[in-house]
Structure 1
Amino acid sequence: MTAGKACVAGATGYLGHRVVAALRAQGVLVVAILKDRSSDADLARLAHCGAALAFVDASRLEPYGEALAGAAVAISCMASASGHVGVADDFWAIDRDANIRFGHAAVRAGVRHVILVATFEGQASRRVSAFSGAKECAVDEIGLACRQAGVIFTVIRPTAYFSDLTDRAFNSVRARHRHTVVGDGRHRINPVHGDDVAAFLIDCIDDPTRAGREHRLGGPDVFSFRDIGLLAAEVLGCARSLRIISIPIWSLRVMAAAGTAISLFVTIRSEPPAATGRSRS
């Protein structure tokens, strides 16, 4: 990688800490952004990599400017903690608003390249779930800011991570003998390992054939969401008692629309009213 500092937001997450480690392995100076409430294990892991630590809590609207000072590349792996189907926790606050603030701060700080990790489906998914809708708003806003400033903008879209699928499926099947799918569960996906995504992301920094584009990344094996639940049940020895619960696609669209409406209402309520009438002299 070309000499220069990299700043990684969401550095304690599944992908974020792998990106930090991969950059440090190449000798890159890295500022890892994390919350001051991060666990001791997360702090130790990042410190062991030799990364500088910057404490910025996105949920408190703290500024990113100091962490980004002097950075050549700004990478956001930020995602809400509850990105799974059926939960609308803080999608709009983190996946949309925090990412947008980070992207705008990076442009103001003079970075040359902004990289955002987003959803695999892209624009087509923004009306399907609140999580996807929030993330795609960030893609739009950061992309516009980068184009206006002449900054390279790269979007990485992993299909899904092995750990996300296995942990979710195994935890649900183990605890309740239940596996939840969207629709009929026959949608097929090829999950990818976080280390492979981190390596590809770093390749995008200097490779002109990859930088400034959108990339969809997947692994070598293809499964349906239904298959994943069945595999988990087979491994755990409860295939006969497994219940597969289907969530209608239309319900996710309703949730996404509701989330958008609530977010818009909160934004409007937070803006000061326009001045009316004449001022007194």
Structure 2
Amino acid sequence: MKKILLAGSTGYLGIYIAKELQQRSCFFRAIARSPEKLEQNDIKANELLKAELTDPESIRECCKGIDIVISTVGITKQKDGLTYMDVDYQANMNLLNEAKKNGVTKFIYVSVLNGEKLRNLKICDAKELFVEQLKQSGIDYCIVRPNGFFSDMSEFFNMAKRGRIYLFGNGELRANPIHGEDLAVVCVDAIDRPDKEIEIGGPETLTQHEIASIAFDILGIKPKITHIPDWVRITILNLVKLLTGSKSYGPVEFFMTVMAIDMLAPEYGKRTLKEYFLKLNNKTV
């Protein structure tokens, strides 16, 4: 049986991957800053290492006896004074160095769709710098590139609850975001797949206007959508960059950039955005 190390085990995607590994009765060692999050989700790793990936000493020999590494490590919301280079690049490099020292045979890394084309964004640049190092490491690898999570779409639902959704342009830009549970299956399947890179999205391709309509329908609210010209988006980005630090600007930069392009990947999975919005609505009623 292959032994797996899961890094980023308590994040949005990491929790789903841990559940998938557990369901398949895989042996896995989880690295976690807050192990209690695994317990809260009824996850029992075969081995648990409480450590900080940004601290090389705390993960020394974390890969000892490990065959496969799966890393979802990255910043979604910047905190703790850490940068994308600290986490998305260096923390993963610390893990890769341990993998190389301990003879790991394969490293699976979750990046982002079009990351190599969006190197002007700080988050994508940090991720792609690591991808470059992983490709040169000599270890077999797989880069999983999702085009967005359902959790990223929560902002549409939240805007609808406030009564109005704001869209850039004409609202016809398309995406097929994927649920974390479906993406977890892809990540675990990658253990035995020969693919070096996997671009992946959810089962439905929707325009931003259609996503907005789904949110309003579930809430039973008359749709109110305001279309914002692209020059306004660019102005907002410039103002945020001028008036805030990089830690605040980074997430805004990424969100407002991917909202202004098509984010399409091969369709996969069975969980729909409507089902996700229904669950969000049930939590608020």
Identity percentage of aligned residues: 28
The answer to whether the Cα contact below 8 Å between 2:146 and 2:201 also exists between their aligned partners in 1 is yes
TM superposition shift of 1:107: 1.7
Residue of structure 2 equivalent to 1:265: none
2:72 pairs with 65, 72, 77, which one? Answer: 77
Q: Distance in 1 between the 2:53 and 2:171 partners?
A: 34
For normalisation by structure 2, the TM-score amounts to 0.72
CA RMSD, 1 decimal: 3.2
TM superposition shift of 1:184: 5.3
Residue of structure 2 equivalent to 1:173: 160
- The one-letter amino acid paired with 1:118 is S
Residue of structure 2 equivalent to 1:16: 14
TM superposition shift of 1:192: 1.7
The answer to whether the Cα contact below 8 Å between 1:189 and 1:223 also exists between their aligned partners in 2 is yes
The answer to whether the Cα contact below 8 Å between 1:34 and 1:53 also exists between their aligned partners in 2 is yes
> Structure 1 pair 60/178, CA: closer, same or farther in 2 (3 Å)?
farther
Residue of structure 2 equivalent to 1:118: 111
TM superposition shift of 1:190: 0.9
Q: Distance in 1 between the 2:71 and 2:165 partners?
A: 31
TM superposition shift of 1:20: 1.7
Q: Give the count of matched residue pairs.
A: 241
TM superposition shift of 1:186: 3.4
The answer to whether the Cα contact below 8 Å between 1:230 and 1:239 also exists between their aligned partners in 2 is no
The answer to whether the Cα contact below 8 Å between 1:56 and 1:62 also exists between their aligned partners in 2 is no
TM superposition shift of 1:169: 1.8
Greater Cα offset, 216-225 or 129-138: 129-138
- The one-letter amino acid paired with 1:191 is P
2:132 pairs with 140, 143, 147, which one? Answer: 140
- The one-letter amino acid paired with 2:107 is V
Q: Distance in 1 between the 2:21 and 2:93 partners?
A: 23
2:140 pairs with 139, 152, 174, which one? Answer: 152
After TM superposition, where is structure 1 displaced by more than 6 Å over at least 4 residues in a row?
none
- The one-letter amino acid paired with 1:22 is E
1:79-113 superposed Cα distances (whole Å, 9 cap, x missing partner):
21328xxxx97423222221222222222221000
TM superposition shift of 1:41: 4.1
The answer to whether the Cα contact below 8 Å between 1:185 and 1:225 also exists between their aligned partners in 2 is yes
Identify unmatched segments of 5+ residues in structure 1: 261-281
Q: Distance in 2 between the 1:188 and 1:169 partners?
A: 14
- The one-letter amino acid paired with 1:151 is I
Whether 1:248 and 2:207 are equivalent positions in the alignment is no
Residue of structure 2 equivalent to 1:202: 188
For normalisation by structure 1, the TM-score amounts to 0.72
Instruction: Report matched runs for 1:1-281 at 5 Å.
Output: 3-36=1-34, 40-45=36-41, 48-59=43-54, 63-82=58-77, 90-127=83-120, 129-144=121-136, 146=137, 150-165=138-153, 167-174=154-161, 176-179=162-165, 181=167, 185-208=171-194, 210=195, 213-243=196-226, 248=233
